[in-house]
């Protein structure tokens, strides 16, 4: 398995707005070949620190998702979000191969 974490910070007062966006996400990634799981994590002490966790069965399937038209479309929409402060957020991305379970 292959897991990717995208961590980003938003102002604490905007955290619930962002969580709402993810709760209503398009879910097109769920249909991607090899998709296993999606989680949105919120730091217990810093409400504005959020992490998207995506898990795929293989790195190759994850990379296929990242290169897909659906991925590009979704991320282009993020850049057009009306709140420019949120649209400008750049996540720190970390990628991991699962080596034990």
* Domain ranges for the chain: 2-97
pLDDT tens sequence across 40-49: 999 999 999 9
DSSP helix/strand/coil, 6: strand
CATH number of 2-97: 3.30.70.100
Radius of gyration over alpha carbons of the chain, in Å?
14
- pLDDT tier, 76 (very low <50, low <70, confident <90, very high otherwise): confident
Angle at 39 between CA 14 and CA 70, to 5 degrees: 90
What pTM was computed for the model?
0.89
Q: What is the pLDDT of residue 79?
A: 67
Burial class from Cβ neighbours inside 10 Å (0-12, 13-18, 19+) for residue 56 reads buried
Q: What is the pLDDT of residue 12?
A: 95
């Amino acid at each position: 398995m292959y897991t990717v974490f995208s961590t980003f910070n938003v102002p604490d007062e905007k955290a619930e707005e962002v969580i709402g966006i993810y709760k209503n996400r398009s879910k097109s990634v769920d249909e991607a070949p090899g998709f296993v799981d999606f989680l949105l994590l919120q730091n217990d002490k810093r409400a504005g620190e959020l992490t998207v966790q995506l898990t795929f069965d293989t790195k190759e399937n994850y990379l296929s998702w990242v290169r897909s038209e659906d991925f590009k479309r979704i991320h282009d929409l993020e850049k057009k979000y009306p709140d420019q402060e949120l649209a400008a957020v750049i996540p720190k991305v970390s990628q991991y191969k699962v080596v034990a379970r």
